[in-house]
Chains A and B, each alone.
Chain A
Amino acid sequence: MKRFLTALALSAALASAETFVIQNATVWTMAKGKFTGSVVVKDGKIEQVGEKVMVPQGAKIIDAGGQHLIPGIIDAHSHIAAEAINEGSVSVSSMASIDDVLNPEDIAIYRALAGGVTTANILHGSANSIGGQTVITKMRWGTDAKTMLFEGGRPGIKFALGENPKRAGNAAVNVGGTPRPQRYPATRMGVEDVIRQAFIDAREYQRTWEEYKTKAANGERVVEPKRDLKLEPLVEILEGRRDVHAHCYRADEILMLLRVADEFGFKIRTLQHVLEGYKVAKEIAAHGAGASTFSDWWSYKVEAFDAIPYNAAIMHKKGVLVSLNSDSAELMRHLNTEAAKVMKYGGVSEEDALAMVTINPAKQLKIENRVGSIEPGKDADLVLYDKNPLSNYAKVQKVWIDGKMYFEREKDLADRAAREARKKGLLEKEKAAAPVQKKDGAAPRRGGPAE
């Protein structure tokens, strides 16, 4: 409760107190179609949405005539803003957490904002059958790591199947002439075994603690068991308190994972990459897993060859909740055009395509009550484009998170000269303070001058 209150206080503090109205925009609500009209933002939330709204007294008016307003883009798979990605030493690294290494100063955050992204799921890498813990963040550029966290975002964890977890640590891989020690597993069978064994251990761990608690409650003298920070997140998965985001490519490994999850009674929240998802879309839909894929990025390794650009559209039509992710700081800057590709390959409607980078990833991350669409009561995470956001000519003009402007194209362009001048000034200052180089080019004394 206290934590909840703090989170509330925090989000209130972050939200701009400014009340404003965006008028005359083409509003893509992602909930109730598209219309031309206004959106009223108050206390960081969307207050009204409609062709005609009550303009609150003193509200700032932003005329967005001819422009397009969409909910902030959500990237379900990103590795930006983190100072470590893989704990690659062990095949179960569930004790490691991205939360511990968030870097709010990563310039990729600002660039993502400039591409209309307001929320991203920051994942551990794919070197492990069961990887580290993930966090959902908002692109609150200029704040600190804790402030970037999506308040109340569900805990997540990365799983990975196939080549990455089985190749990592393979004895055949030499680094600088030194063979790396063999790390189990080295096959897809092994990956399955590692996951299954980890959950057998987690069940045992869960049982040990329950037994201890019962005995201690009965007043018996017992020694408290060890806490295992590796198994605790797996117990959370078993108890439905942590979401699994599983990196996968091939149809066989996808089915394998769904079966293992069924065996232990938990759900795979999302399948990531899932390039062969089109082959097993019905099974994915039946499990209830979401699919977060690329529009047309493949063939970068053997397991990623049997891919088609129709993957997202086919899974969508078979009833799978589909999102498009970036997995890349560069791709993250134009997820809108990634969505547009699904219209070309598979004939998905404009709005269904845009949903794949807004409301669909929100649902996959279970944050759709807060973000992903433009509806009264939701966070004022908004992106204003100068053109139809599905056009590759569209440029992001303004981005708000919690009603606060985090990116403004005009301002960025205007500030560039000042930044360059500041940089030039610092370089000149440093040059002036540097010791005069001797003519023969002798280096200054070692360790010397700090000025």
Chain B
Amino acid sequence: MQKILSLLLLGCGLLLAQPPSGIAIRNARIVTGSGPILQKGTVVLRNGLIDAVGENVTIPTDAWVINGEGMTVYPGLIDALSTIGITDAAATPGSARPAATPGAPAATVSRGPEDRPLTTSWLKAADLINTTDRRIESARNQGFTSAITWPRRGIFAGQGAVINLAGDKSNDMIIVPSTGQYLALVNGGFGAGYPASLMGSISYIRQIYVDADRYARIKKQYADNPRGLNRPEYDRALEGVLESQRLLLPANRRVEITRMISFSKELKRPTVLYGLQEGYLALDALQAAGLPVLINLKWPEKAREVDPENIESLKVLEVRDKAATTPAELAKKGVKFAFYADGIDQPADILKAVRKAMQAGLSEADALKAMTITPAEIFGFADRLGSIEKGKIGNLVVTKGGIFDEKPAIQHVFIDGVKYDPAPDTQTPAAAGARATGGGKEQEQQ
């Protein structure tokens, strides 16, 4: 029976190339994310938006109706720091600069900040979205409906965009075209010129912001009255920096967290820290700083191939033991945090990593927030996404059972009101029922 139903639903998904005028999910458990959980409620999607949500909602006569008995509806999940949709080599992380050909003259050796090394601050993720990136679908199949995706190459990598994880054209997918500047602390490497060290990277960033602030002032001075003044020289690196005021700073270890908190104060710009796996060691500093943070869900693990004789330090062992307590501890301190799934190869492992944080004390409600409303608040789009409320974008996930169950069964994903169902071959083992393949079986053993 269940099989027939899912086949039917799948069929609907294929037929629904043209979205119906409305879709209603009725009699479902609805975790709105903005108010109490509705034990038996209805959500109506129309024209890409959430048209109604509640326990006593009149279903429009022209709407397709999905029986939500035994299902739970959540706001669509958001990955707060990702490269989904970006396949352009110039924007994806890797070696900081192209490897020099032996014997070839070194063409671009940066002599200092004036050469704007490792800077593509003007790059916009919104302009780089490749709709054929396979990661879009695989993330969607895990319940992710949006991502904040970033160019990730160099020090000033470029500007992030909030995107929906479905759309025929990349332009359809953009929710917020520019939402901040991604910064990394990288070294130029041997022979590549300035900066070649962590402190060089930091002083370079400092110089760029000093330059950008001056650039803004002298541009204004010139715009106000150009007569008698030499025109400011156009600088696209500074243009990019000025148009993306919010900045993302890397801060994974405690040392980095306190360092970046004070750097943020110095730069005087809205800052979001990312990494945070040793956040549990810097709780007071984070609370006092009041900066929102993005927590990397790829918890530290013992390296796969290590010398078994090599005993790691107590510090390393403790971090591995305690890293996943960070979300719960930050929740207690009232620090605003969102999750990101950087470096997790298997999309199915993302929710597994969230469950690890829940086993370490994080409540289900806080876990959900970190993947829905909080990233939306941090990046300023909570008025249109992140919870199930009338008038917001129609992004939903529908599961059988709970999304944080050990084997979550994701039934439908709605993006802009359009239904997408996980294709059978990418479904989690549980969703695929008894049809476990060799690979699936292996997963089940874990």
Seen from chain A, the residues whose Cβ lies within 8 Å of a Cβ on chain B are 83-90, 93, 95-98, 100-101, 103-105, 124, 132, 144-146, 169, 175, 177-181, 221, 223-224, 226-227, 229-230, 419, 422-423, 426-427, 429-430, 434-435, 443, 445-451
B301 at the interface (CB under 8 A from A): yes
Identify A226's interface contact among B203, B204, B214, CB under 8 A: B214
Cα–Cα distance between A443 and B305 once the two chains are bound (Å): 10
Cα–Cα distance between A95 and B204 once the two chains are bound (Å): 8
B382 at the interface (CB under 8 A from A): no
B346 at the interface (CB under 8 A from A): yes
7 smallest CB-CB distances across A and B, nearest first, come from A447-B345, A89-B196, A87-B200, A180-B191, A84-B198, A181-B106, A426-B317
Question: Can you list 20 pairs linking A and B with CB atoms under 8 Å apart?
Answer: A84-B198, A87-B195, A87-B199, A87-B200, A89-B192, A89-B196, A95-B203, A100-B263, A101-B197, A101-B202, A101-B259, A104-B255, A132-B199, A177-B102, A178-B102, A181-B109, A223-B230, A224-B214, A427-B317, A449-B352
Q: Evaluate whether A180 and B190 lie within 8 angstroms (CB atoms) in the complex, with A224-B217, A422-B314, A435-B446 already known.
A: yes
Please name all residues of chain A whose beta carbon is closer than 8 Å to the beta carbon of B188 when the two chains form the complex.
Answer: 89
Give chain B nearest CB distance to A347 CB in angstroms: 43
Using an 8 Å CB-CB cutoff, how does the interface string of B354-390 with A read, 1 for contact, 0 for none? Answer: 0010000000000000000000000000000000000
B13 at the interface (CB under 8 A from A): no
Please name all residues of chain B whose beta carbon is closer than 8 Å to the beta carbon of A221 when the two chains form the complex.
Answer: 225, 228-229
A-B contact count (CB 8 A): 159
Q: Evaluate whether A229 and B318 lie within 8 angstroms (CB atoms) in the complex, with A87-B196, A97-B199, A103-B255 already known.
A: no
Determine if B321 and A101 form an interchain contact, defined as CB atoms under 8 angstroms apart: no
Please name all residues of chain A whose beta carbon is closer than 8 Å to the beta carbon of B285 when the two chains form the complex.
Answer: 144
Q: Evaluate whether A426 and B198 lie within 8 angstroms (CB atoms) in the complex, with A89-B110, A175-B190, A227-B210 already known.
A: no
B407 at the interface (CB under 8 A from A): no
Please name all residues of chain A whose beta carbon is closer than 8 Å to the beta carbon of B352 when the two chains form the complex.
Answer: 449-450
Please name all residues of chain B whose beta carbon is closer than 8 Å to the beta carbon of A95 when the two chains form the complex.
Answer: 112-113, 200, 203-204, 206-207
Using an 8 Å CB-CB cutoff, how does the interface string of B105-124 with A read, 1 for contact, 0 for none? Answer: 01001111100000000000
Please name all residues of chain A whose beta carbon is closer than 8 Å to the beta carbon of B99 when the two chains form the complex.
Answer: 178
Cα–Cα distance between A90 and B191 once the two chains are bound (Å): 10
B21 at the interface (CB under 8 A from A): no
Q: In the complex, which residues 173-212 of chain B have their Cβ closer than 8 Å to any Cβ of chain A?
A: 188, 190-200, 202-204, 206-207, 210-211
Give chain A nearest CB distance to B365 CB in angstroms: 22
Q: Evaluate whether A447 and B344 lie within 8 angstroms (CB atoms) in the complex, with A177-B102, A179-B103, A427-B317 already known.
A: yes
Cα–Cα distance between A144 and B256 once the two chains are bound (Å): 11
B246 at the interface (CB under 8 A from A): no
B339 at the interface (CB under 8 A from A): no
B320 at the interface (CB under 8 A from A): yes
Determine if A146 and B197 form an interchain contact, defined as CB atoms under 8 angstroms apart: no
Please name all residues of chain B whose beta carbon is closer than 8 Å to the beta carbon of A101 when the two chains form the complex.
Answer: 197-199, 202, 259
Determine if B111 and A90 form an interchain contact, defined as CB atoms under 8 angstroms apart: yes
Cα–Cα distance between A223 and B227 once the two chains are bound (Å): 12
B132 at the interface (CB under 8 A from A): no
Please name all residues of chain B whose beta carbon is closer than 8 Å to the beta carbon of A84 when the two chains form the complex.
Answer: 197-200
Determine if A96 and B197 form an interchain contact, defined as CB atoms under 8 angstroms apart: yes
B302 at the interface (CB under 8 A from A): yes
Determine if A423 and B314 form an interchain contact, defined as CB atoms under 8 angstroms apart: yes
Cα–Cα distance between A267 and B302 once the two chains are bound (Å): 52
Identify A145's interface contact among B194, B200, B259, B304, CB under 8 A: B259
Q: Evaluate whether A229 and B210 lie within 8 angstroms (CB atoms) in the complex, with A144-B285, A426-B317 already known.
A: yes
Please name all residues of chain A whose beta carbon is closer than 8 Å to the beta carbon of B218 when the two chains form the complex.
Answer: 223-224
Determine if A229 and B317 form an interchain contact, defined as CB atoms under 8 angstroms apart: no
Give chain B nearest CB distance to A134 CB in angstroms: 11
Across the two chains, which residue of chain A brings its CB closest to B359?
A451
Give chain A nearest CB distance to B225 CB in angstroms: 8
Please name all residues of chain A whose beta carbon is closer than 8 Å to the beta carbon of B198 when the two chains form the complex.
Answer: 83-84, 100-101
Cα–Cα distance between A98 and B304 once the two chains are bound (Å): 34
Across the two chains, which residue of chain A brings its CB closest to B258?
A144
Determine if A426 and B446 form an interchain contact, defined as CB atoms under 8 angstroms apart: no
Interface contacts beyond A86-B196, A100-B202, A447-B344: sample of 13 additional A-B pairs, CB < 8 Å, sorted by A: A87-B196, A87-B199, A89-B194, A96-B195, A97-B202, A104-B255, A105-B254, A145-B255, A175-B190, A177-B102, A221-B228, A447-B349, A450-B349
Determine if B320 and A430 form an interchain contact, defined as CB atoms under 8 angstroms apart: yes
Identify B191's interface contact among A132, A178, A229, A434, CB under 8 A: A178
Determine if A100 and B346 form an interchain contact, defined as CB atoms under 8 angstroms apart: no
Please name all residues of chain B whose beta carbon is closer than 8 Å to the beta carbon of A98 when the two chains form the complex.
Answer: 199
Cα–Cα distance between A380 and B442 once the two chains are bound (Å): 63
Across the two chains, which residue of chain B brings its CB closest to A177?
B102
Determine if A426 and B193 form an interchain contact, defined as CB atoms under 8 angstroms apart: no
Please name all residues of chain B whose beta carbon is closer than 8 Å to the beta carbon of A97 when the two chains form the complex.
Answer: 199, 202-203
Across the two chains, which residue of chain A brings its CB closest to B203?
A95
Please name all residues of chain B whose beta carbon is closer than 8 Å to the beta carbon of A144 when the two chains form the complex.
Answer: 258, 285
B16 at the interface (CB under 8 A from A): no
Cα–Cα distance between A85 and B202 once the two chains are bound (Å): 13
Identify A450's interface contact among B200, B202, B315, B353, CB under 8 A: B353
B221 at the interface (CB under 8 A from A): yes
Please name all residues of chain B whose beta carbon is closer than 8 Å to the beta carbon of A430 when the two chains form the complex.
Answer: 302, 317, 320-321
B280 at the interface (CB under 8 A from A): no
Determine if B443 and A445 form an interchain contact, defined as CB atoms under 8 angstroms apart: yes
Interface centre among B198, B203, B230 (most CB of A within 10 A): B203
Q: In the complex, which residues 277-317 of chain B have their Cβ closer than 8 Å to any Cβ of chain A?
A: 285, 298-299, 301-302, 304, 311, 314-315, 317
Determine if B200 and A96 form an interchain contact, defined as CB atoms under 8 angstroms apart: yes
Cα–Cα distance between A290 and B335 once the two chains are bound (Å): 49
Interface centre among A100, A221, A448, A451 (most CB of B within 10 A): A100
Cα–Cα distance between A371 and B352 once the two chains are bound (Å): 54
Cα–Cα distance between A230 and B207 once the two chains are bound (Å): 9
Cα–Cα distance between A83 and B259 once the two chains are bound (Å): 11
Identify A181's interface contact among B191, B197, B232, B262, CB under 8 A: B191
Please name all residues of chain B whose beta carbon is closer than 8 Å to the beta carbon of A229 when the two chains form the complex.
Answer: 113, 203, 206-207, 210
Determine if A449 and B345 form an interchain contact, defined as CB atoms under 8 angstroms apart: no
Determine if B230 and A87 form an interchain contact, defined as CB atoms under 8 angstroms apart: no
Determine if A226 and B211 form an interchain contact, defined as CB atoms under 8 angstroms apart: yes
Across the two chains, which residue of chain A brings its CB closest to B446?
A449
Give chain B nearest CB distance to A91 CB in angstroms: 10
Please name all residues of chain A whose beta carbon is closer than 8 Å to the beta carbon of B211 when the two chains form the complex.
Answer: 226-227
Give chain B nearest CB distance to A49 CB in angstroms: 37
Using an 8 Å CB-CB cutoff, how does the interface string of B435-446 with A read, 1 for contact, 0 for none? Answer: 000000011001
B100 at the interface (CB under 8 A from A): yes
Determine if B202 and A426 form an interchain contact, defined as CB atoms under 8 angstroms apart: no
Please name all residues of chain A whose beta carbon is closer than 8 Å to the beta carbon of B214 when the two chains form the complex.
Answer: 224, 226-227
Q: Evaluate whether A88 and B203 lie within 8 angstroms (CB atoms) in the complex, with A229-B210, A435-B446, A447-B344 already known.
A: no
Please name all residues of chain B whose beta carbon is closer than 8 Å to the beta carbon of A230 when the two chains form the complex.
Answer: 112-113
Interface centre among B103, B206, B255 (most CB of A within 10 A): B255
Please name all residues of chain B whose beta carbon is closer than 8 Å to the beta carbon of A224 when the two chains form the complex.
Answer: 214, 217-218
Cα–Cα distance between A297 and B2 once the two chains are bound (Å): 80
Q: In the complex, which residues 122-177 of chain B have their Cβ closer than 8 Å to any Cβ of chain A?
A: none
Give chain A nearest CB distance to B347 CB in angstroms: 10
Give chain B nearest CB distance to A448 CB in angstroms: 6
Give chain B nearest CB distance to A110 CB in angstroms: 12
Interface centre among B112, B191, B353, B443 (most CB of A within 10 A): B191
Q: In the complex, which residues 34-58 of chain B have their Cβ closer than 8 Å to any Cβ of chain A?
A: none
Please name all residues of chain B whose beta carbon is closer than 8 Å to the beta carbon of A426 when the two chains form the complex.
Answer: 314, 317-318, 320-321
Please name all residues of chain B whose beta carbon is closer than 8 Å to the beta carbon of A175 when the two chains form the complex.
Answer: 190-191
